[in-house]
Amino acid sequence: MDKDLVFKALADPTRRLMLDEFSECKEQTLYELTARLIMRHNVSISRQALAKHVDVLEKAGLISSEKRGKYRMLVFNNEPLRTVMDRWIK
């Protein structure tokens, strides 16, 4: 696990909103996630921009993705968040 990638992923407010959605529903398609962000958080953003954020979160190990036919299923994993703060909080 690359801690640098985790902190980079957390640096963006849109990605933190995405994590908020995932902490309520651990499995979502990219389509569902986009719809939720637009409707519940008034996020005005294109699908492609969201897809980029998904890539960043995936490289950080915070989500994993799986192709299911037409849809792309995203699964949340908060384990990196648990381990990344160890060095300062004792």
Binding site for DNA (CB under 7 A): 8, 11-12, 14, 29-31, 34, 44-49, 51-54, 56, 65, 67, 69-72
**Is residue 47 within 8 Å of residue 53, measured between CB atoms?**
no
- Which pair of structure tokens corresponds to residue 51? 């897809």
Nearer to DNA, 13 or 86 (CB): 13
| DSSP code at position 81 | H
**Following DSSP, what letter does each residue of 4-28 receive, concatenated?**
HHHHHHHT-HHHHHHHHHHHH-SEE
14 binds, among a second copy, DNA, none (CB under 5 to 8 A by kind): DNA
Nearer to DNA, 42 or 48 (CB): 48
Binding site for a second copy (CB under 8 A): 4, 7-8, 10-11, 13, 16, 19-20, 23, 78, 81-82, 85, 87-90
Residues 6+ apart with CB under 8 A from 41: 17
Nearer to DNA, 65 or 77 (CB): 65
